[in-house]
A and B are shown apart, each in its own frame.
Chain A
């Protein structure tokens, strides 16, 4: 079955630690995205990548980093510089750019202790 796999589903972090969220897709999509979802708010874009070895900052990139070494993988690192990291993180992909259907993973919930 084709789809997007995010792991871990739940993650706890102590203050000052970096954590990495995994996102893998087998849909052969060129574009991949990371969103953050907070209660009562719309999804906000953290980073996106249109092609391997290239990525751009979204609206709330500060305190986050990404890499795109393979077409299938787009990991997100939440660094200690992110002041309020507790949130639900969603990875998505599309064939190319935004023009077309967006497919989402099941999400990863990060809690800072």
Chain B
């Protein structure tokens, strides 16, 4: 069964800290992996998409890495800000379907 797990479920950090969010998947035969941000009561916003042939993608203070062999992806957020507070979800594409993790709720304290 194709499953996606995100750890931790919730994370609280002081402003300015660098942090890492984890995503693991059971089936390594992926097409791509996406990281999304979701604010409370809102839809999802795509942050980064990593193709299966890529190792990482960067956008501003965000860096996502992908290690297919170990079934893991990490989202690194540098110099965190209170505005980064949100739920972060990863989703793995398996060709004909997208499997989502339950998300990590991030709170950045000022």
Contact = CB atoms under 8 A, between A and B. Distances in A.
Contacts of B34: 101-102
Contacts of A106: 42-43
A84 interface: no
B42 A99 contact: no
Interface residues of B, number: 25
A13 B85 CA distance: 32
A99 B43 CA distance: 20
Given A40-B102, A42-B99, A45-B98, A102 B46 contact: yes
Given A98-B31, A99-B93, A43 B42 contact: no
A90 B42 CA distance: 9
B13 interface: no
Interface in A67-105: 88, 90, 92, 98-105
B46 A103 contact: yes
B10 to A, nearest CB: 11
The secondary structure that dominates the B interface is strand
The secondary structure that dominates the A interface is loop
Contact of B42 (A42, A45, A107): A107
A41 interface: yes
- Which of A42, A45, A104, A105 is packed against the most chain B CB atoms within 10 Å? A42
B18 interface: no
Contacts of A44: 100
Given A102-B91, A109-B41, 7 more contacts: A42-B4, A42-B91, A42-B99, A99-B32, A101-B34, A107-B41, A107-B43
Interface of B: 4, 9, 31-32, 34, 36, 41-46, 49, 89, 91, 93, 95-103
Interface of A: 4, 6, 40-45, 58, 88, 90, 92, 98-107, 109
